[in-house]
Amino acid sequence: MSTEVDYYELLEVERTADDATIKASYRKLAMKFHPDRNAGCKDNEAKFKAVSEAYDCLKDPQKRAAYDRFGHAAFQQGGPGGFGGGQDFGGFSDIFESVFGEFMGGRGGGQRGPQRGADLRYDMEITLEDAFHGKAEEITVDVAGMCDACHGSGAKPGTSAKTCGTCAGHGKVRAQQGFFVVERTCPSCHGAGEVIADPCKSCRGEGRVEKTKTLTVNIPAGVDEGTRVRLTGEGEAGPRGAPAGDLYIFLHVKRHAIFQREGTTLFANAPISFTTAALGGAITIPGPDGERHEIKIPAGVQSGREVRQRGAGMPVLQGKGRGDLVVRIAVETPTKLTAKQRELLEEFRCTETGDECPQSQGFFQKVKKAVGG
């Protein structure tokens, strides 16, 4: 199982976005997360590398076409085309053929036999608390699985497939057309290289039947919106014993009543009384970890001020440490006062000199100058 964030999600664009939109979004994100602007911030450095990797793929039409069809599996060892990070890129021609071969007639020596089963997608919604702690979730999916009666061969139990007499087991046939030799999929075996004279009654020769499977998805702590969990071999079974595809779990984090999230940083808006803002104090906020975090409020704090609590945010996915909790202060003006409270405020107003609120004093001085005193 691996966790992979979708390239389009990383670049904050739709899958239908054109090249100009992708390039513009990449430039904005690269500038935001560039290490030179975020010295020592490992989280932003990781984001910069991730968006750069995503752009390197999506800016190339051939790589983007392969990614749209196979996802990250297109660039991993053992995936379609057989190449990935640090591997020999000579295998890209295999992916190019799998994407465009239908239109270009394929190439000689192509892969014979049934093709790998299709990859499947499953969308899962989780809470912010689930994303914080991680969890194991059981899911039920309907999928084409291997036929138990024939063990995926497609042939009636006790029999077996025979080598195709049309293509001699190659899966393709050639025809001379003038100076050219055209190669196409064998019409008798449809590229399998074998034919089944007596098909299995359970699967009608397909080697697979519809099944309902219950699977356990292990969600690691720190996942974010768009994170993708891959269950290898749990996708659609390949025909006639071919390898199964993968099942991709796309995670969607529910909106939280208190917190907004940006990477590993959590943001919360906290209204405080004007007396707490003037005199200072502390407020308590419960975090998604279940702990109660005490936030110190400095005296004289203004609305919009952000107070940061280090290490109280989300855990780093597949890493160590946690992000921060940032509390945005909103000073609330009282709307219901008792007679005693109003009396005390009137006494306070009578003692005001203007120095208590330097921003207000400075503003009105500018106004006087602007209108000539």
> Residues annotated in the binding site for Zn(2+), as ranges?
147, 150, 164, 167, 186, 189, 200, 203
- Tell me how far apart the alpha carbons of residues 272 and 141 are, in angstroms, rounded to a whole number: 48
- Tell me how far apart the alpha carbons of residues 344 and 333 are, in angstroms, rounded to a whole number: 15
Tokens of 37: 């602007």
Residues tagged in the binding site annotation: 147, 150, 164, 167, 186, 189, 200, 203
- Tell me how far apart the alpha carbons of residues 70 and 181 are, in angstroms, rounded to a whole number: 31
- Are the C-beta atoms of residues 70 and 119 closer than 8 Å to each other? yes
- Are the C-beta atoms of residues 231 and 214 closer than 8 Å to each other? no
Q: Which residues contact 217 (CB under 8 A, 6 or more apart)?
A: 124, 136, 137, 138, 139, 229, 231, 249
CB atoms within 10 A of CB 207: 28
Residue type, 240: R
- Are the C-beta atoms of residues 215 and 231 closer than 8 Å to each other? yes
